[in-house]
Every structure is written in structure tokens, then in C-alpha cells.
Amino acid sequence: MSVQDAHSIEDLRRMAQRRLPRGVFDFFDGGADDENTLRANREGFERIRLRPRVLVNVQEPDLSTMLLGRRAGAPLVIAPTGAIGAGWPGADVAIARAAARLSIPYTLSTTATSSIEDIATLAGGRLWFQLYVLKDRAFTEKLLERAGAAGYEALVVTLDLATGGKRERDLRNRFTVPLRANWTTVRDFATHPGWCLQLLRHGQPRFKNLVGFEGASDPRASIAAKVGQSLDAAFSWDDLQRLRERWQGKFLVKGVSRGDDADRLAGLGVDAIWVSNHGGRQLDGSVSSTDALPDVLRGVRGRVPVLIDSGVRRGVDVVKALALGAQGVAIGRATLYGAAAAGQAGAERALAILTDELRRAMQLCGTPTVAKIDAQLLQPSGSTHEPNQTVDHETIGR
């Protein structure tokens, strides 16, 4: 099956599932514990109902918008995804290049399998760096210095990860990075010869940004445990303020789900707040991102733009998120499935699917521009998501 035969993100997901060993696919696809939040993220989008406008000229819808003061080709951001070189060699670069072609920001994970410098050199475009705050403050400082020196536009500090989530699929599959041979994994790998040949040709995926960091070197731990062992669970408001003062570019915080936290963060001087539950991969039972967004917007009170991720699989989901009040929508698994299925061609196909669906949804909703997507599109009383405010997507965050 050619990647061009994929007509939805779910099609790409199935292609990736067929190509990858079970342990690798489950690491990308799975969530924490019983995966209740993983499911709730999709259910949150599916509950939202739209009220289309009619008799509007939507012959040539314009998907472009302003994101953090710069024009983007669509109201999309690539969310950080770690260890994805286990799915396809150079997957980080592949997705970053696809993002650059669409003129949308790409966020590189601390636990990426391509380095800060390689992404800047090989992909270009609008680059953001997502930071896990590590116990080793000196090493964390080095990461900031490297991102600044490589010209990254923004720093995205992840706040919802005081420890790694319990991802039981990984534990059952005995999945680690670097990949470790045991009876479970050997049987799994052997049934996927194409993937195995790529691994032999390109070598083991490694956390390129954590080279020299001892906290990531334990081969016995699951990937979730490795991250958890290395994180600074004592990171505080004062620490975040010092980090804000240290970083000279745009400063975003990711993993926010409460209005009171958003209020304080907006007062701290952040440039944007990113509503996220880590794609359901950390605290199982946490609120879905669509349910958290209205409260965060009330806390922000229009002072800074708000982004949202977790559960986005369709272009119409982008319309729903913008109508709720988000300025931009971040996607993680969507382009990851594409890259795991077919490298850069798969990542580009994922973005083509989403932007085609977004364009179609805008036409069917009677919204010729992103700025016209507002709360009046949402089903009013009786819906879980009542219209809360109108957001000017053209001017906020400039």
C-alpha cells in the first residue's frame, strides 16, 4: 500500500502498525495505565458539535495565520515526540522538513533521536526546542545554550512531567531505547524484516541530545523509567522564572490544564501557554485537553495566546479547537504515524491529509479565513463546550 493511498490519519496509523514491531508501535500509540485519558482526548473532540454558516464566499479558504508573531502556513505546530528514530531512521529530520515545507513550527523533543544541531542544519524552518528540566541543572543549561546557538526561535518548557507515567504496554513488551534483545523483543523484531534491515543499516536509535548525560544510560529501565529517573521533580515557580530570564527567545510552557495556573503563568511573562496532558501518556484520569481549554482561557484573559494538543486526528478538530479559543493546534502522533509508515513522504502525507480536511471543514463551516473561526460556530446551550469568547486569531500574540 502506497502512502498516497492513505486517506486519513487512521490509515497512516494502520500502515505504521503493520510495518513496526509491536513493542515499537505500542510505545508510540499507547498511553498511561488504563489509557482512559488517551481515549478521553479523542472523545473530547468528538463531543463538540459545529453550527455552519451559509451563503459565505469560501471558494478560496486561507489557512494561514499568525503564530507567536509570525505568519504560518496553517494554524498547526508539530508537537515534540521522543525516541521516534526507533520507528524510522531520521524520523525527527523527516518531520521537521515536512513542517518547514508547510511553514509551520516544529518542536524538537529533549529525547529526540536527532540532535539540536542536526535538525537546524538538515531541516531549517521555524524551530522550537522542548525542554525536560533535568536534575542535572548544568546539563539543562547546556541544552539551552545549544538551542540558542543553533537559532531556535522558542523554548517550550514541559511542566506536566515531574515523573514518568506508567506505560504498561512498554513494560509488557520490555521496550527500551536503545533497543535491547530478549526473548520477547527478538520474536517481535524477527516478524518485521523490513524494519530490522533498516535498523541494521542505520544502527540503534539513541537520545542524541542526552549524550554524556548519565541519567539516560541505564539499559535495564523502560523508556518511561529513564525519563522519570532523570527529571527534576523539585522544579518550582522560582526556577521557571529564572529559566524565563535566562532564555532570550520566545518562551512557552506546555502541560497546563488549570485556569489558576494559567493566570499565574500569564503574569510571569510567558509568551504562550500550551494546554496538554502529554497525549494521555502521563497521568491517567487527567482532564482531556478540550475540557481543560475553556478554564485555561478564562485564567489567561486574553493576555497570551493558547495552544492545544492531545487527540487531534482530523482537520475538523483544528476548527473545533480554534472555535473554543485556541490560537494554534499542535499535532504529535499524526505526523509520527506518517513518518513511521514512510519517512518524510509519510509525514508530508499526514500534513496534506490534515490541511485538506481543514480546508474542507472551513468551507463547509462558512469560514474563509482562520480569523473567522470563532465561538459562534459552536453548539450553544446543552453542549459540554459552550461558546466562551471570540478570539482574533490574526492579532493575538503579535
Q: Is residue 391 part of a domain?
A: no
Catalytic sites, residue numbers: 278
Amino acid of residue 296: V
CATH of the domain at 149: 3.20.20.70
Q: Is residue 387 part of a domain?
A: no
Q: Is residue 392 part of a domain?
A: no
Q: Is residue 156 part of a domain?
A: yes
Domain count, the chain: 1
The mean pLDDT of 373-397, rounded to a whole number, is 64
Which residue would you say has higher pLDDT here, 189 or 45? 45
pLDDT > 90? residue 249: yes
Element (H, E) at 206: none
Q: Cα(88)–Cα(326) distance, rounded to whole angstroms?
A: 32
Q: Is residue 112 part of a domain?
A: yes
Are 206 and 113 within 8 A, CB to CB?
yes
Percentage of the chain beyond pLDDT 70 is 92
Model pLDDT, residue 109: 97
- The closest of 83, 396, 351, 297 to 308, measured between CA atoms, is 297
Spatial neighbors of 277 by CB under 8 A, at least 6 apart, are 37, 41, 160, 255, 257, 283, 286, 287, 288, 289, 292, 310
Q: Cα(171)–Cα(40) distance, rounded to whole angstroms?
A: 22
- The closest of 393, 391, 329 to 358, measured between CA atoms, is 329
Q: Is residue 390 part of a domain?
A: no
Model pLDDT, residue 393: 58
Give the pTM. 0.92
**Residues β-bridged to residue 328:** 307
The mean pLDDT of 80-100, rounded to a whole number, is 96
Per-residue pLDDT tens over the stretch 1-10: 789 999 999 9
Q: Is residue 382 part of a domain?
A: no
Query: 262 lies in which domain range?
Result: 3-377
pLDDT > 90? residue 390: no
Q: Is residue 383 part of a domain?
A: no
For the packed helices 137-149 and 237-246, what is the interaxial angle rounded to 10 degrees? 30
Q: Cα(355)–Cα(350) distance, rounded to whole angstroms?
A: 9
